[in-house]
A and B are shown apart, each in its own frame.
Chain A
Amino acid sequence: MANQFDVIIVGSGAGGGMAAYVLTQKGVKVALIEKGRNAYPTLGQDLLRQSLFGNDELRRRRYFGFHDPFSEPRTLVQQTGGDAKTVEFQGLGVTVGGGTVFYDGDCPRVQQTDLQALTNYGAVDGASLVDWPLAYADLTDHYDEVERLVGVQGAAGADPFAEKRGPYPMPPGRPPKAAAVLSKGAKALGYHPHPMPMANNSIAYRGRPACVDCGFCGMGCPIDAKGSTAVTVIRDALRTGNLTLLSETCVTQVLTTADGSHATGVTVIGPDGATQTLSADNIILAANAIETPRLLLASANAAHPEGIGNSSGLLGRNLMFHTIFAAIGVFDDEIRSYRSRVVTHAMSDFTVLDSTPGALRGGYVELGGQTGPIDMGISVPRQLHKDLMVNGRYRRKISSVSMIGEDMPQLTNRVELDPKVRDIYGRPVARVTYVRHPRDQALIDYYMPKLKAIAEAAGAVEVLEIDFVQQDGVPESKHLLGTTRMGDDPKAAVTNKFGRLHDVDNLWVADGGVYPTSTGFNPTLTQQALAHRQALYLLNPSSQGRVKP
């Protein structure tokens, strides 16, 4: 294996895949390092043939392509005291394409309002709110380009609260019954449901077929109709000849010069178990907002005794997950929400700032959702198993109204290294501390009745209120954000507005960790736009990362 590259990228998900694309298009020699396997044997060939994914719930339950809590546990500091407890949570894709292989494909853009949380809310007790060091206008061209590359369906103008935009690359796909029912309910209350912008092909697009709505998005798309970074930009990057894709390769350490100002390379464990060092002029970390700080903390050296890039003391802090909660409507009629892409419709009416005393700004609302029969079956009390599974009341006749709520950044919510627990590679695992802020709970209390009203207006005969938290009150989410916060002041942020570490002049972060605040929208598209911008800036700093200098 060659061991010298222009750029090394750690992690092949949303940010890493997109950065690899931009750089390799410009002739830069890139090593894209992925801990998981490559489930696309023909990814770089002329004809993209079958993947190793399938409509198979068990493969996912056995963590095929996923973060595996058996080989890489995580621990959680318990709010009730005592030792940190080993838990299974927040597992993203660990495979070429990362989380974009398994996500719903939801691709909303943020609003300008999302980027000024401190301005919006003022100082909030216990929250480390800031405004973003960039504006929506800095992202517009990158959004356009990312949407074109991964293929996003949507209806421009259908969301009256979205920032102005041009046409989507493709029209919305086919609506399932859940969308029709819930949209009717939302409209009856004066809201503005619209097709969810999503990276799923509604028509054949850039060599990939249209989605057939099999309903197994969470297991990886068997026909590549979903616009993961794997089958779009990573495939494009491979075909430039400038990309070396190193799958089944685990990065154990980032190396710097003795004075710590410059990164020189990474230490990896390869597919055969052998350790070696790879060098590059620039290194981009895109392993997600738990794994990237974990790696930087584990790479502490004499120049960076508290972890690389941690002179601010903020590395690993301000961990955010979004506050996600739902009103699940139970209907008399068959809904069969699994006959569809996961979520096809949404509304952003609650994201409007409201100056009414007591009002809170909410997040994007997803209309629809689904769960597989195994997951459903296990959740049913065993004594009632057959009755509930056969009558289908809580399986075939439900649909959900859920909110992606903005959670407050807090210094005390953080990622550290666990002092005891190790992973299969022998590395210290991530130890997470997370306590929900009172405002996050207030958001649920304020909006749950409104979500419930939508389900009822849609004709639900019963509504289940679900707060997606798991053991010990930690939100259950795959939206990992905030731990390498962007900001102009090196004392108040880990990375600058292009995601480069303030402390190390050639070390970058291209995952959700750079989010200063969590926004009220699903993060994947914005992560890709930020990575796209970062890569252009890396190529030519005088461009300020602009698509059109």
Chain B
Amino acid sequence: MMNGKLRKQIGAIATWVLTFILMVIICVPGLWVVLTAFRPNGEVLAKPPVWIPENPSLNNFAKIFGFGADQVAIPVPAYFANSLIIALTSTAIALLIGMSGGYAFARYRFRFKNGLFLGLMLSRTVPGIALSLPIFMIWSRIGLIDAKLGLIIVYVALNVPFTIWLIDGFFRQIPKEMSEAAQVDGCTRWQAFWKIEFPLAKSGIASAGIFAFLTSWNEYALASNLTRSTDSKTLPVGLMDFTAQFTIDWAGMSAMAVIIIIPALILTFLVQKHLIAGLTFGGVKG
């Protein structure tokens, strides 16, 4: 009796200890970067290490955004704008294409359906760096190197397969009879889609959009080879500018990292529930 109770207690304690360790491993590296973003560079290099920032300040952020005296040579605001424009545009286009394709997979039976689906997915497996070679060669011939448009087109293609996978899953969660009932009620298929199926799949589609946005926002392998200047460089590529300098500006780099992380954190928080549902539904129910 006593033994069972004891074992249960040990189990509970072990669970908590393991969870604690897990959270430490997940959170500490990121937290360290965040803390560094608020330190003066001297404190970063200090020996013995300064654990908690003694003089936290926003100087690093002011610096990378070009305020104050000791601004860095890296044009972060331009990169930020590029990232935003490229990610938003490519997401919007990918969503339109993905909605149309996802709906086709969810609602129609047609020849080559499985083959097409597999083909779409396989197109996504091509490693970014491998795809970047021919695209680099083609883009440089047609003037899309170092252009936002060039990157937008690539990111649309990068996001379409996964967007279709997710949206297919969300549409399939809506019973087919909903659309049929609406058609019997007097809707055209088009009306039935916009008045019934779209509103029901809306939150799922939104999360597919967020996922596409993050993919574009985070992408590096292609962007680093297809961009050259402030015209089109995105934040992840810009982050590497720091390493090109003679001494690494850890504090400035960390501040820039925080700027890249923030949208990811917020959007992940918004999207997490739907994303899991979409992935598992599309995958398990076929």
Is A bound to B? no
